[in-house]
Each structure stands twice: as structure tokens, then as C-alpha cells.
Structure 1
Amino acid sequence: MLLPLLRPLDADPDREFRVDLFPPASLQTVGVVRRLLRDMLTATGADPDGPCLILSELLANALLHGDGAPSVALELRCGLLYIAVTDGSIAPPARPEPDVARTCGRGLDLVAALADDWGVELIGVCGKAVRAVAAVDR
């Protein structure tokens, strides 16, 4: 869950941002949204690689397995990037059993490995938000 934007007194507003996106329900938007996050993190001096992979996996999952057009919230505050991707399905994301022969279905394993915290929250009967928090290096 994203927190209200309350900046500490010594925060640098040039190194913090909040963006809410409502991309079309098309897999082509994954790359567009990922490049936007990469550019924004690079502009703040943060390493974009891990957070961009987390975002790509969460957004692709919402598009492939969710319902309706997703929404994306990105917030960088105090060295932490908060990512939330919502969709209209109340079905929780599935993590298949570990299998080294599996060629797909590893996205949430990557999210779990790269994020400092992640989880799923139901939004009543309106869907769910899959969220992740990742520390960014500066």
C-alpha cells in the first residue's frame, strides 16, 4: 500500500517523485512504463535495474492474468521505491511450485528476490493491488 507523501524536512524534492498511470490493457505498455521508470530513476541517480524488473513482472502479470486495464502507482521517497499495480480481478497471483525445468511462471519469484517487501491487497470487490517496495542505490 502506498503511503501519503510526507517529506522529511531534509528531503531533496529533486530525488523524489510520485506518478499514477492508467495504461491501456496491452502488453506493449509494459516496455513503455518500464522505460518511464528507468528514466525517472536514472534522473535521480538511482540504480533502475531491479525496480524496473519488478515493475515489468507486476504489470505483465496484471495484463496477462488480471481483469481489465491496470493502474500503476510509482513513488520514490527517502530512498525507497513503492510500486503498486492494480487490476480488476480479486484472484490472488499464483506462484507455481519450484521446478528447475519450468520455462515460465518465475515472475513472482523474481519479485520476491528483488523487492525488500511485497504483497497483495484486495480492494473490496473491485480487484487487487500487488505492491512491492525496493531500496534504490544512490
Structure 2
Amino acid sequence: MCLPSFRPSQAALISDFRLDLVPPALPGMVGPIRRLLRDILDAIGLDPDSACLILSELVTNALIHGEGRPAILLELRDGRLHMTVSDASRTPVQRQAPDDSRASGRGLDIVDALAEAWGVEPTGPHGKAVWAVTKVGHT
């Protein structure tokens, strides 16, 4: 599945947006979702680097450890990008103990280092939502 490119003709007029996505639960979706966010933020003159890395980690965790199709909500409000990735698993999110010899398992450490705030909330009787907020400055 391909996701659309985002290139508004009058980017200077955009200051806030909301985007809801429910992509297939396929590992190959992380890249297209990250590129879509990068395209949007680039088009409106905002630095995409930290936000794209955070989003990649949240989506990857939902695909690896979650259940069902992830639901992704991206909202830019007042210079802060609010990202929420939900899945149908109630299995608690667990950060692994720091260990420099690990080849994987650092996603939430990266989110913690780059986000202003992040957390996990249950969503109804089944599922959870992992969210993060980061400031996005002008490029």
C-alpha cells in the first residue's frame, strides 16, 4: 500500500493539522508512514527529524508487540506534534533495562530522550495507546 505525498501549494498558511491513519499491520509500513510525516513537516517548513524518529519507534513497537492494525493519530498544535499509536493488545508496555550490548529494544529509550512527554493509556476494554509530544521548530 502506498501512502500519498503531501505537498500543499500554500504551506505558509498551515500551522496546525490532524491526520488519522489505520495502515495495514505490516512491518513495511513504518517507512511510508515516516516519509508521509517527513513530507508534511518539510512542506510547512518544520524540522521533521525528531518527530519522524519518535513516530517510527512507536509504530514499530505497535507492529512488533501489539495486536491488529495500529491506529495512528498525528496532531500539530501550537508548534508541538502530538503522536498517538494505538493497538488492540492490553499487554503492558515495558522498557528494557539499559544494556549497551543489546542489538534492539531501545525504542522507548529513544522516545524518552527525544519527546517532551510520553506515556501509555488503556483504550477501552481492549488495547492501549502509546503517545508522545515533541516540539517541532522551523527549519
Partner of 2:83: 83
Partner of 1:49: 49
Give a deviation string over 1:68-100, Cα, whole Å, max 9, x none: 110100011110000000000011211111111
Give a deviation string over 1:33-66, Cα, whole Å, max 9, x none: 1000000011111100000000000000000000
Alpha-carbon separation, structure 2, partners of 1:94 and 1:104: 14
Alpha-carbon separation, structure 1, partners of 2:137 and 2:113: 16
Correspondence list, 1:11-90, <5 A: 14-90=14-90
Equivalent pairs counted in the alignment come to 127
Alpha-carbon separation, structure 2, partners of 1:94 and 1:135: 25
Alpha-carbon separation, structure 2, partners of 1:42 and 1:69: 27
Percent pairwise identity: 55
- Kindly state the Cα deviation for residue 15 of structure 1 after the two structures are TM-superposed: 2.0
- Kindly state the Cα deviation for residue 13 of structure 1 after the two structures are TM-superposed: 5.2
Alpha-carbon separation, structure 2, partners of 1:33 and 1:16: 19
Give TM-score, length-normalised by structure 2: 0.88
Partner of 1:9: none
Structure 1 unaligned residues grouped into runs of 5+: 1-11
Give TM-score, length-normalised by structure 1: 0.89
RMSD: 1.1
- Change in 2 beyond 3 A, CA 1:75/1:13: farther
Report runs of 4+ in structure 1 exceeding 3 Å deviation: none
- Kindly state the Cα deviation for residue 28 of structure 1 after the two structures are TM-superposed: 0.8
Alpha-carbon separation, structure 2, partners of 1:101 and 1:84: 29
Alpha-carbon separation, structure 2, partners of 1:91 and 1:125: 12
Structure 2 unaligned residues grouped into runs of 5+: 1-11
Alpha-carbon separation, structure 1, partners of 2:114 and 2:134: 7
Structure 2 residue identity aligned to 1:131: W
